[in-house]
Structure 1
Amino acid sequence: MADGCCGAKAGKTALNDPRWRRVLWIALLLNAAMFFVEFGMGASADSRALQADALDFLGDAANYAISLGVAGMALAWRARTALLKGVTILGFGLWVLGSAAWAFVTGTAPEPVAMGVIGTLALIVNLVVALMLYRYRTGDANMRSVWICSRNDAIGNIAVLAAALGVAGTGSALPDLIVALLMAVLGISGGWQVIRAALGELASGRSLAGQSAS
């Protein structure tokens, strides 16, 4: 019940809250910077998990930019934007799934030290962003989509570190590919959650509009 009350309050007041917008700007800049760092190092280390996580940073940066653009707009527009983001997250998950399957056939063992260093840096960044966004996790679909992205990223980074240990211990690419697969599942699950929430809000908005017209 407490979560429900807080969620309702956040959904009504936080959209135009300067603190919410400031958090999104910080998250946007951090994620954009980490994309360049992690993608470059992921390619250098031949790590599919790092490259997938880097593309996730890029997707999140775009999502934060979209969220900044729609904050304060009508609920229907926020829900449509959340729906677009949900489809994007789902598509990212499917891409990672296909990439991991391809690497299973053609890939080589990545460099575990680089994976560990960059994975730790990415985890720190995502934990900072997730903590900043935590208070907004029960807002509307747009806010929940931002929180889900950050939560999934932190979980993915922990998995990348586990993969680095696995690669170091076995000399095999399999731990890296398993983590890429887990990240794909997280993306697909998170994207579906956002899509369901956005569709629910759109349906609710149409229902209210119909009642007003009658």
Structure 2
Amino acid sequence: MSSCCDSSCSSTAQAQMDKTQKRLLWTVLLLNGVMFFVEFTAGWLAESSGLIADSLDMLADTLVYAVSLYAVGKAIKYKANAAIFNGTLQTVLAFVVLADVLQRLVFGSQPNANMMLWIAFLALAVNVLCFALLYSSRNGDINIRASWICSRNDMLMNSGVIISALLVAQLDMAWPDLVIATAIALIVLRSAIRIIHDARAVKAGEKTDISGCCG
């Protein structure tokens, strides 16, 4: 009788934990999704590869959160399949950014430093909020921990875009914007390769979970 009660309590606690995780992941997913559209549009208008790269990193994070959300309460094989798709799409996004940098190197660009600065600060504020929301759960479930690491790393990327915007304004040259865009693209590419590798290892039975870490 006692074991049945314990089993029921454990099941209820797990269900409540899953519900809390889903609510948290939905919140950070929506914040990053909205910021992706805002930052990508601003980057296009400002001729800033840095903002475009940072916006695609926001999209990559949204995909990581979506995979984590999808995996809550499901078997690891579902997470592995979703993560492989996630990593593949992130790889494509990274090469899109690198192609954008290349075409701006060839044809030139004049980034709008003021717009870069304001939008980068807005992106930083969003990531600080996500970081704060996820902070209390950073040592818990692997999905939440990976999402927290993403937000932590993204704040560093946002700071890089801010610094590049200041350098663009100071030097009146586009190269700082192209440098930060390239750096972000390479970080996303590294993350994508790691996610795909981990997911394949899980499917092969060599690992029991996927890091999902951004960067």
What is the TM-score when the length of structure 2 is the normalising length?
0.78
Letter in 2 for 1:181: T
Corresponding position of 1:72: 73
Q: Are the aligned partners of 1:14 and 1:20 in contact in 2 as well (CA < 8 Å)?
A: no
Aligned residue for 1:41, secondary structure, equals helix
Q: CA RMSD in A?
A: 2.7
Aligned residue for 2:205, secondary structure, equals helix
* C-alpha displacement of 1:116: 0.8
Comparing 21-30 and 51-60, the one that deviates more:
51-60
Corresponding position of 1:212: none
Gaps of 5+ in 2: 1-13, 209-215
What is the TM-score when the length of structure 1 is the normalising length?
0.78
Comparing 159-168 and 65-74, the one that deviates more:
65-74
* C-alpha displacement of 1:91: 2.5
Letter in 2 for 1:106: F
Letter in 2 for 1:53: D
Q: Distance in 2 between matches of 1:161 and 1:82?
A: 30
Gaps of 5+ in 1: 1-12, 208-214
* C-alpha displacement of 1:77: 1.1
Q: Distance in 2 between matches of 1:65 and 1:194?
A: 14
* C-alpha displacement of 1:166: 0.8
Q: Are the aligned partners of 1:90 and 1:192 in contact in 2 as well (CA < 8 Å)?
A: yes
* C-alpha displacement of 1:71: 1.7
Q: Which has the higher helix share?
A: 1
Corresponding position of 1:165: 166
Corresponding position of 1:19: 20
* C-alpha displacement of 1:63: 3.8
Letter in 2 for 1:95: V
Corresponding position of 2:179: 178
Matches within 5 A, 1:114-193: 114-134=115-135, 135-136=137-138, 139-140=141-142, 146-147=147-148, 149-193=150-194
Q: Are the aligned partners of 1:16 and 1:72 in contact in 2 as well (CA < 8 Å)?
A: no
Letter in 2 for 1:189: R
* C-alpha displacement of 1:102: 1.5
Q: Distance in 1 between matches of 2:191 and 2:38?
A: 24
* C-alpha displacement of 1:170: 0.7
* C-alpha displacement of 1:179: 0.4
- 1:148/1:85 Cα in 2 relative to 1: closer, same or farther (>3 Å)? farther
* C-alpha displacement of 1:55: 2.6
* C-alpha displacement of 1:148: 5.0
